[in-house]
Chains A and B, each alone.
Chain A
Amino acid sequence: MTVSATPAIELAGLTRTYGERLALDGVSLALPAGATLALLGPNGAGKSTLLRVLATLLRPHAGRVRVLGRDLPRDGWAVRGRIGLLAHDPLLYRDLTARENLRFHAQLHRVAPGRVDALLDAVGMAPRADEPVRTLSRGMVQRVAVCRAVLHDPELLLLDEPGSHLDPAAAALVEPLIGRASGRTRVVVRHDPAGALAEADLVLGLRGGRVVLTAAGGRLDPAALAALYE
């Protein structure tokens, strides 16, 4: 993966409405390639919406969105295959096995089937790969979901609370794939400010769709942080 000079993400005044309400209100940020952005904020602040806009699943209603050097929504088709999303929904069919699910996604993304087996091994799911997803525990499902997110070797990872449902052992298994060490550009939604600071190059606090807090380089004003969540 080459690190290019153009920022991985550039947002200028991104706005998205939901009826008469503003889900995102003039969000602006720039994230260099290979860096990690942590998104903090109370429920309903717009974090998931922002993630979905970056994933090309939602279109902006106003403002500029540039992901991996391409404007959205116009060039969404060009970046779609280079973004990986890990959201609350694991996006796996419950009646199919883990292997069948991943093979299906591999077909959609034109990825060689061998990579499926390699990833299942990497997260320790090879023994249970041929049982329906319905029978797996939530932690196991999360591990398979991680495989799905990185199957096509995306340059940009969008992670919505990636550590949820994972015990420390499992978390260690997925870390090389979606953690800082993977070298990919990452946007991570987290609910623990300490953890966010530890691994992030840039931290943004969202509230009511607006950016109310910005921090870089591991320093965060405790008072501002408290105000974000009150």
Chain B
Amino acid sequence: MSTVGALLAKDLRAELRAKQSLPAMALFAIATFVVFHFGLDRARLDGDLAAGVLWVTLLLAALLGINRLFVAELEEGGFDGFLLAPVDRTAMLVAKATALFLYLAGLELVAVPAFALLLDPGLGRALPELLWLLLLADVGIAVVGTLVAALTVQGRARELLVPLLALPLLLPLLIAAARGTAPLLEAGGGSLPLRWPAVLGLYDMVFGLLSYAVFDFLLED
């Protein structure tokens, strides 16, 4: 089994056993939709308001996953154990980002239907194009989230630094995702302007390459 495969299997096994990240993220998203309902005093959302609520909620829920991503490595000696092995160190970046991507996909499997149910944005027609946006955005969140998680896990005040670092870094992604989703959720239905997936793709590429280049420096001592 490849190094990335071994790491990923280990992480997924631990997550299934301890259920640390995914249930919390999903519950948080549902709770946030309820909060928005009461905060905005609306039973139905559409257009850019719906898009905003969806994406802000997904981002905030992602923060929970990002917070916990490297904690097991830190607290249970996973960094040392990994560094002692004769393997390519970037494998940890790929494995962790893939794990986070899978958690985000799991989150959306719960959150998007919940969103459709609770805030009735007329999701049906929009679904195929929305799935594209979710896919592209998840890659970006996974990559940037892994980088931020690695930057903050070994210091103090990790829970404070993660949102402070991640939210500004994820803003271009949020902008592209929300602006792309908004016309899909318009009352009359609209189509996805191509520039937004393009921006997401560019974002994913830039941060993907960047993370790959710098990750080694975060692991060595």
Indicate if A touches B (C-beta under 8 A).
yes
Tell me whether B160 is interfacial, beta carbon within 8 Å. no
A94 touches B86 (CB 8 A): no
Q: Does B209 have its Cβ within 8 Å of any Cβ on chain A?
A: no
Interface of B is mostly: helix
CB of A132 within 8 A of chain B?
A: yes
CA distance A100 to B16 in the complex (A): 14
What residue of chain B has the Cβ atom nearest to residue A93's Cβ? B76
- A214: min CB distance to chain B, Å: 28
Which of the candidate stretches B6-14, B33-41, B58-66, B191-199 sits at the interface with the other chain?
B6-14
Of B77-85, B101-109, B149-157, the stretch lying at the interface with chain A is B77-85
User: Which of B3, B17, B220, B221 interacts with A132 by CB under 8 Å?
Assistant: B17
Specify which of A77, A91, A109 lies most central, judged by the most chain B CB atoms within 10 Å of its CB.
A91
Distance, CA A55 to CA B3, complexed state (A): 20
Known contacts A100-B13, A104-B10, A89 near B80 by CB under 8 Å: yes
Contacting residues, chain A, for B56 (C-beta < 8 A) = none
The tally of residues in A whose CB lies under 8 Å from a CB in B reads: 28
Chain B residues with CB under 8 Å of A81's CB are 85-86
Q: Which 3 A-B pairs have the closest CB atoms?
A: A81-B86, A91-B77, A107-B6
Q: Which residues of A contact B (CB under 8 A)?
A: 52, 55-59, 77, 80-81, 83, 85, 87, 89-96, 100, 104-105, 107-109, 132, 148
B positions within 8 Å CB-CB of A = 1, 3, 6, 9-10, 13-14, 17-18, 72, 76-78, 80-87, 220-221
